[in-house]
Structure 1
């Protein structure tokens, strides 16, 4: 911002010099902060963005449910990633599944279906997570964005549970500051 008057604000960026007019004009400069906050709220709403910004990542070990779900999912990704894991000669079979050949056979049978279905479901959840992060002004140039998205791809719905909890907490903090 290069200048502010009772009638407008002037900006300069990248060679452009736009002017934003106050409608109605400010009665005094004391009114400027309140009006700018109001304009910011209107702009966020028009852009479909939230005034709650996400700036941090809550890891899966933050709560027991997330940790259990993350662990089960990552083990499922690893085990069902290739059919050979359920055959003699694989580390998984030779160290554990040789004791349960019927279960190994069952896993081998469902592997071609389970892995792609799980990948599709988790890919869909990632698109929802990306949309939610963008709405809360967390962009992909930060490690936190990648952590949320990566965690979501591995574990799915429990990452949303943690993110929604964080958004609720920030909303409560913001509301308590107003009062």
Structure 2
């Protein structure tokens, strides 16, 4: 029969393995909130110890000790305490409890795909004024039949392209902030998908993300009943 010390050691090991394997984002948030660290500094955070008084987390070659207030009476309280700590961390960081874990591409919505394609072609053709001059592939294969239109495009090129870049950079910054609120960082491939498509298509990427957030919110609310 296992001794109390052995049982406690096994319980601690289970808790730490579970947290490090399935709740890495929570561990990072504990450090971000309690130690005022950035997501970059805590990217490799791992729980290394837990007892009735505190948890220990290693990150970036450092170690943080986060106390339980008040101390636990038993490790059976760990789940409830750690969940509450995560809620407190989310509140302190100003983040949502809805975490984004997947990317929805523009082709799932016909209108979004049309907008993405239109924006992509605008970037491609209006990115260089030489595209509307004789000698370019576009002019030689298509626009040579429409010289007035080619000249019109050449005239508006710097204004159209400049305004589009400014607007889409602004939207991309908003997307980055929104993704951060919902737990995504540049260390995750999904972050790059959302940010990259936002830079191309702009507002329609927000519509898909908002739809995903609404879906996850409904699922979360349904679990409470």
Q: Would you call these one fold, judging by a TM-score over 0.5? A: yes
Q: CA deviation at 1:79?
A: 0.6
Q: 2:191 aligns with which of 139, 145, 159?
A: 145
Off by >6 Å, runs of 4+ in structure 1: none
| Cα RMSD, aligned residues only | 2.0
Q: Which runs of 5+ in 1 are unaligned?
A: none
Shift of 1:28: 6.5
The TM-score normalised by the length of structure 2 is 0.71
Is 1:10 matched up with 2:55?
A: yes
Q: Distance in 1 between matches of 2:215 and 2:190?
A: 18
TM-score normalised to the size of structure 1? 0.88
* 1:15 shift after superposition: 5.5
In the other structure, the counterpart of 1:78 is: 124
Distance in 1 (alpha carbons) for counterparts of 2:50 and 2:112: 50
Report Cα offsets for 1:103-134 as digits up to 9, x if no partner. 21111110011111111111111111111111
Aligned to 1:60: 106
Task: Flag structure 2 segments of 5+ consecutive residues without an equivalent.
Answer: 1-46
Alignment length (residue pairs): 176
Q: Secondary structure at the match of 2:104?
A: coil
Q: Taking CA–CA contacts closer than 8 Å with sequence separation of 6 or more, which of the two structures ends up with the larger relative contact order?
A: 1
- Per-residue deviation, 1:34: 3.1
Offset, 1:30: 5.4
> Which residue matches 1:124?
170
- Asked whether the 8 Å contact 2:51–2:75 carries over to 1, the reply is no
Which of the residues 76, 79, 82 maps onto 1:36? Answer: 82
Name the residue aligned to 2:38. Answer: none
In the TM superposition, residue 27 of structure 1 has moved relative to its aligned partner by: 6.9
